Amino acid sequence: MARLTFIRHAPNRKKRLGRYWRRPKGGDSKLRLRVRGHGLSVSIGYRRKGSERGMLRNGLRERRIETMRDVNLLNIKTEAAVLSSTLGLKQKAELAKALAAKGAVIMNMKDPKGFLARMEQQIAARKHERESEKKGKESLKEAEKAEARKSAVSEKKEQLSEDELAKKVEEEEKIRKKEYEKVLTKRT
């Protein structure tokens, strides 16, 4: 039996009214009174067989997938997979890859192969970014170490140059004293 669609009363009269079912509540509503020619009203007599209930339009039943165990329990002949919305990207990619390998229908993913390709690109880009950050941090550390070495060497040079300057000053003072003594000795 084809699946019936129940439409609310007069959805074409106002743009804001959708074509989804709403129970008619008007006192003179012909749909509520079940007058012929005014549309079908929902009632228990239209219920589907127990074997058909809960099936999707493609003839499969939904099964929520959260772990690899759920993937292994999935019967691809009678069930369609619906990936949980609480999954992270890595886990979603793993489960999608396993489901694609199994040949299962994934209801909430339009193109599983395209999704997997995009995810691999994103993961590779993130990995490259992290590596470049690590290299940047390492190069910064190396630069800091080199700077510290240079500053230590320059400090030593400054100390050496200060010592040399002190020696030169002492030598000049000795020379001046000798000259001064010579001058004193000549006068006498």
Q: How far is CA 46 from CA 18, 52, 70, 124, 132, in A?
A: 22, 13, 34, 53, 63
Do residues 85 and 38 touch, judged by C-beta distance below 8 A? no
**Structure confidence by residue, pLDDT tens digits, 100-111:** 999 999 999 888
pLDDT of residue 24: 95
**Structure confidence by residue, pLDDT tens digits, 69-84:** 999 999 999 999 999 9
- State mean pLDDT over 146-169: 76
Residue 65's φ and ψ, nearest 5 degrees, are -115, 120
**Structure confidence by residue, pLDDT tens digits, 9-52:** 999 999 999 999 999 999 999 999 999 999 999 999 888 888 88
Crossing angle for the helix pair 89-102 and 112-187, to the nearest 10 degrees: 140
Please report which helix (H) or strand (E) contains residue 82, including its range.
strand 79-83
How far apart CA 78 and CA 68 sit, in angstroms, is 18
